[in-house]
Amino acid sequence: LQQRRGIRLSAPAAIQVTVRDALNQALDEELERDERVFLLGEEVAQYDGAYKISRGLWKKYGDKRVIDTPISEMGFAGIAVGAAMAGLRPVCEFMTFNFSMQAIDQVINSAAKTCYMSAGSIAVPIVFRGPNGASAGVAAQHSQCFAAWYGHCPGLKVVSPWSSEDAKGLLKASIRDDNPVVMLENELLYGVPFEMSEQAQSKDFLVPIGKAKIEKEGTHVTLVSHSRPVGHCLEAAAVLAKEGVECEVINLRTIRPMDIETVEASVVKTNHLVTVEGGWPQFGVGAEICARIMEGPAFNYLDAPAVRVTGADVPMPYAKILEDNCIPQVKDIIFAVKKTLNI
């Protein structure tokens, strides 16, 4: 009515939301929307989650929808897969994806392969989620990135959010998907606030699985990354812009299926490619991107070999100075860009 009278209404502005709160919102909205959705894992209920992702959900939805489990990943992952086969939509939280190795038979053999082996008659709509990759000071057995592991396996979808909008939209899309989805979050991002647009604040907001996002337009070099290193790429791009180098930064968002078309289009424009990831170099996400570019039409547009920036090819050390040198830093990305541009 006010708009009809010519009174201008200001649209709700974007707000700052942490990745933790974005994930919490997504879980809350999907639990409310669909009674088949439930959350299970270690400490997710009465303790509000080891990282407080599920804060307040147990009090709101009760024991049947938010379930504390024993410390047995193979056991509760198997329960979740069976529940998905029976028609529910479980969200299975691993306290860290390093512990998912205890349940990898359930994730791969039970969840990923069942739809194919049943000729499409049995869907497994399940989300496996939790922190992935290096945190801070947790050493080798708690610092592995599983993007390449799970991205290797047909039957799974694998998503890897960076921002709060990524986290909320991808989690909601994953819960609604009829395929098993592995959602690789990052512990060091949970407390980081990002701007969330008015659109992303809607209960209907989804980020499509399998579609990358160009975070920054550029003309000289393409930087492709996922999860926390996307932020490092943007920082490196800001530094390089002062030197006249315009980087195009692509946030993959999804590891499988990979949006190679967006990467190809960018390489055709910039003629240079640098991939950045926290995982190990051999058989990594960057290696896959480089192979796809080499095999596809964008290869003929490259003016220099593609360069990978990865984690060091060693188990993660505990000592902070060694840890810092094992994880890609902004300076490493700047060095790689200058190397590929020969400057």
Give the catalytic positions in this structure: 73, 142
Residue with tokens 């509000």: 48
If DSSP codes are grouped into helix, strand and coil, which group holds residue 11? coil
User: How is residue 155 written in tokens?
Assistant: 């039957």
